[in-house]
Amino acid sequence: MRSPAPITTTDLLKLAGLAFVFVDHTGLFFAPDQDWWRVAGRAAAPIFFFLIGFARASPVPMSWIALGAALTALDLYVSDGFEGVTLNILFNFALIRLAMPAIEAKVLTRRWGMAALALVCAAMIPVLAAFLEYGAEGWLWALFGIAAREAVATGAKDARVRRNVVAVFCATVYLFVEMRDFEFETGQGAALVGLIAVLAFVLVAFRRAPAPFQPAPPVARVVSWIGRHSLEIYAVSLFLMQLAGRLMDGAAA
pLDDT digits (tens, 9 = 90+) for 105-154: 888 888 888 999 999 999 999 999 999 999 999 999 999 999 999 999 99
CA–CA separation, 39 and 53 (whole Å): 24
* pLDDT tops 80 at residue 83: no
Q: Could you tell me which of 63, 65, 24, 31 has the C-alpha nearest to residue 45?
A: 24
What is the 8-class DSSP label of residue 205? T
End-to-end CA, the chain: 53
Task: Name, in order, each residue with C-beta under 8 angstroms of 34's C-beta and a sequence gap of 6 or more.
Answer: 27
Mean pLDDT, residues 225-239 taken together: 95
* pLDDT tops 70 at residue 203: yes
Contact criterion met (CB below 8 Å) for 198 and 20: no
**Between 249 and 175, the higher pLDDT residue:** 175
**pLDDT tens digits, one per residue of 34-49:** 999 999 999 999 999 9
Mean pLDDT, residues 210-228 taken together: 91
